[in-house]
Amino acid sequence: MTIIGSATPLLNAVLAPLTDLGRADAVARRITEAIALGLVADGDQLPSENDLADRLGVANGTVREALALLREADLIETRRGRNGGSFIRTPAEGSAHLRLARLRELGTGELRDLGDEELAVSGTVARLAAERAPADLAPRLTRLVHDLRDAAGPAERRRADARFHVELAVAAQSVRLTRLAVRLQAELGPLLWLPAPCAPDQERLAEQHREILVAVVAGDAAGARTAAEAHTVTCVHHLMRWHLQPADDRGGEPGAEVVRR
Residue 5: burial class (beta carbons within 10 Å; 0-12, 13-18, 19+): exposed
Q: Quick one: pLDDT at residue 65?
A: 93
Q: Is residue 2 part of a domain?
A: no
Q: Quick one: pLDDT at residue 95?
A: 63
Let me know whether 81 and 99 are in one domain.
no
Q: Quick one: pLDDT at residue 96?
A: 73
Let me know whether 107 and 232 are in one domain.
yes
Let me know whether 83 and 101 are in one domain.
no
- C-alpha 20: how far from chain center: 20
Q: Quick one: pLDDT at residue 254?
A: 41
Q: Is the CB of residue 155 less than 8 Å from the CB of residue 93?
A: yes
| Neighbour tally for 251: CB within 10 Å | 10
Let me know whether 107 and 79 are in one domain.
no
Let me know whether 44 and 161 are in one domain.
no
Let me know whether 144 and 80 are in one domain.
no
Cα–Cα distances (Å) from 259 to 9, 58, 189, 194, 200, in that order, read 35, 41, 19, 10, 17
- Amino acid making up residue 34: A
Q: Is residue 4 part of a domain?
A: no
Cα–Cα distances (Å) from 251 to 101, 134, 246, 254, 260, in that order, read 14, 49, 9, 8, 10
Total structural domains within the chain: 2
Let me know whether 82 and 193 are in one domain.
no
Q: Quick one: pLDDT at residue 250?
A: 46
Residue 79 pairs in a beta bridge with 85
Going from the first residue of the chain to its last (261 residues), give the mean pLDDT of each consecutive group of 10, the final group possibly shorter.
54 59 79 77 87 87 91 87 84 65 85 94 98 92 96 90 94 92 89 89 97 97 98 95 70 39 31
Q: Is residue 188 part of a domain?
A: yes
Q: pTM score, two decimals?
A: 0.74
Let me know whether 220 and 135 are in one domain.
yes
Which domain does 256 fall in, by range? 95-260
Q: Is the CB of residue 76 less than 8 Å from the CB of residue 89?
A: yes
Question: Which of residues 64, 88, 112 is at a domain's end?
Answer: 88
Let me know whether 212 and 178 are in one domain.
yes
